[in-house]
Amino acid sequence: MKITLKVWRQKDSKSKGEFKTYEHSHVSPDMSFLEMLDVLNTELIKKKEEPISFDHDCREGICGMCSLYINGHPHGPLQTTTCQLHMRSFSDGETITIEPWRAKAFPVIKDLVVDRSAFDRIQQAGGYVNVNTGGVPDGNAIPIPKMIADEAFDAATCIGCGACVAACKNASAMLFVGAKVSQFALLPQGKVEAKQRVEKMVAQMDAEGFGACTNTYACEAECPKGIKITNIARMNREYLGAMLTSYKVEVGGGE
């Protein structure tokens, strides 16, 4: 295969970026997208040119590091991670445009690499799950209906790649935050700090500069793990309940 790549190149967060065009020959249809970039970088290094910087780690679709915006879609034309996208998804002679995530809360570090530490700070704001100390309880001591357990597990599969933010016209992180809230809100072990957790996580999300959700469903359509938008509705319910309860406590205390 022969392809043309239009790649966003940016020296650092303070420099002005631009697209640069690369003609890439001898691309195997069986290459993953990241392997294709590896081969291109090898060629650039041989030519004494600066290789393209991009994030990657496990290359197994479970870490969420490979955050590339390809031909107008997060992770490319398929609902999968970039590392699991193969070149057979493109046509011989096709022009492929590669960009970093575009969001105020995800500033560009270099080329295609963005700073997604905002997600880490949102999770840290949520804190931990408290458990009673003492003897280890039996695994079946706390009965959890299978449907609830499955929903919690589905929410927990979020890998924090940021595709939801990149897909959203408002750069909203509500699908990510909704998933992280839901995985604890659904289980009895997460009930102790439930109110404080959702309040702090939503507050941190807003502080990071993410946009609001306007229910276009673009996040769900592009999420490589199929996280459902129902998690946003659950987060909103949890948040509203927490705020109403907090208000009642404040009024009661004042009286």
The tokens for 95 are 């022009």
Question: What distance in Å separates the CA atoms of residue 63 and residue 81, rounded to the nearest whole number?
Answer: 9
Helix, strand and coil content of the chain, in percent to the nearest 5, comes to: 40, 15, 45
pLDDT, tens only, 157-182: 999 999 999 999 999 999 999 999 99
Closest CA to 179 of 148, 152, 144, 213: 152
- Tens digits of residue pLDDT in 88-101: 999 999 999 999 99
CATH number of the domain located at residue range(s) 3-110 in this protein: 3.10.20.30
In the chain, where does the domain assigned CATH 3.10.20.30 lie?
Answer: 3-110
Q: What sign does the CA torsion over 142, 146, 148, 149 have?
A: positive
The fold for domain 117-254 equals Fumarate Reductase Iron-sulfur Protein; Chain B, domain 2 (1.10.1060)
Parts of the chain belonging to CATH 1.10.1060.10: 117-254
Per-residue pLDDT of the chain (255 residues; tens, 9 = 90+): 999 999 999 999 999 999 999 999 989 999 999 999 999 999 999 999 999 999 999 999 999 999 999 999 999 999 999 999 999 999 999 999 999 999 999 999 999 999 999 999 999 999 887 766 667 666 667 788 999 999 999 999 999 999 999 999 999 999 999 999 999 999 888 888 999 999 999 999 999 999 999 999 999 999 999 999 999 999 999 999 999 887 554 444 444
pLDDT at 254: 47
Residue 19: phi, psi to the nearest 5? -85, 140
